[in-house]
Amino acid sequence: MHRTVTTTLSKLSNTLNTNGVIPFFYHQDIDRVLEVMKILKRCECNVFEFTHQRDARGLRMFTWLAEKAKELDIIIGAGTVLDASQANRFIQAGAHFIASPFLHADVARVCHENNVVWIPGCSTFHDVAEAKALQASLVTILPGNILGPAFLKQVVNVHPEISFIPSGGVTLVKNNLQGWFDAGALCVRLGESLFTREDVAVKDWVKVEGNVYRALQGIKQIKTSILRTNSITISE
């Protein structure tokens, strides 16, 4: 196993805030995953979540990809991590952050012990309070298509010290993205809407890169507009 390479919470948070997105992707062809990472880097997106498929091959792939992430200077994390043993294996393989679809105290403990950022999934106010008790500073809100921006806005008001990342039901439609960022999202989590199955299947990397670039620019414009509006409001 490789030595753990830690990334501070502030560095990850700043990167997510700048990018406005956590891109996540998995494919059984490791070369396609690497190509996606290269596209992200060319589009100045410096973070990537590898959503492994809970098998030994996924861990081997991640170990190799973590080395490539060093070369590309990309923060790489492991997603869909379900228990402490999985978390530990991915941390030792080089994960900068661990994302889980739900709360798990043992996963939190392993991440804290290794100084690796833990991003749990939460679906209720109780979940968020529990995540806070387990020292989570970044929290995924899911499923976004059911909870919606109104839930996010409420939970941000109650827990302004936590940064929230909606996942599921997040699309590249401007009104959808606008709603999430207006509600207080740090960034959004996007997968197939960035890397469509059809484009990846035929390796149309030019189309994929164009899609990623437009998405990042659109998110940047939304966040800039919100910052400008907030600045005007404060000055008044």
Residue 1 pLDDT = 44
CA dihedral (200, 179, 163, 231) positive or negative: positive
Instruction: Please report whether residue 225 resides in a domain.
Output: yes
| In-domain check, residue 3 | no
Do you find a cis peptide bond into 143, omega within 30 degrees of 0?
A: yes
Residue 2 lies in a domain: no
Give the separation between CA 117 and CA 197, rounded to whole angstroms: 29
Q: Residue 105: which domain range?
A: 9-235
Closest Cα to residue 76, out of 63, 89, 86, 85? Answer: 63
Cα gap 176→114, rounded to integer Å: 36
Q: What is the pLDDT of residue 227?
A: 83
What amino acid occupies position 97? F
> Cα–Cα distance between 121 and 209 in angstroms, integer?
28
Residue with tokens 């494919």: 27
- Provide the token pair at 146: 């059911």
Select from 79, 82, 109 the least CA-distant residue to 96. 79
- Cα separation of 100 and 8, whole Å? 18
Look at residue 1 and tell me if it is in a domain. no
Low-confidence ranges of the chain (pLDDT < 50): 1-4, 234-236
39 in a domain, yes or no?
Answer: yes
Looking at residue 48, which CATH number applies to its domain?
Answer: 3.20.20.70
If one counts the domains in the chain, the total is 1
Q: Is residue 4 part of a domain?
A: no
Cβ atoms within 10 Å of 27's Cβ, excluding its own: 17
In a domain, 85, yes or no: yes
Is beta strand 188-190 parallel, antiparallel or unpaired with respect to 97-99?
unpaired
| 160-180 residue pLDDT tens | 999 999 999 899 999 999 999
Task: Let me know if residue 67 belongs to a domain.
Answer: yes
pTM: 0.92
Residue 7: predicted pLDDT = 67
Q: What one-character-per-residue DSSP string does 119-142 give? A: E-EE-SHHHHHHHHHTT-SEEEE-
Cβ–Cβ < 8 Å for 97, 117? yes
What is the model's pLDDT at position 77? 97
36 by Cβ neighbours in 10 Å (0-12 / 13-18 / 19+) ranks as buried
What's the pLDDT at 229?
A: 79
Helices 56-72 and 84-92, packing angle to 10 deg: 40
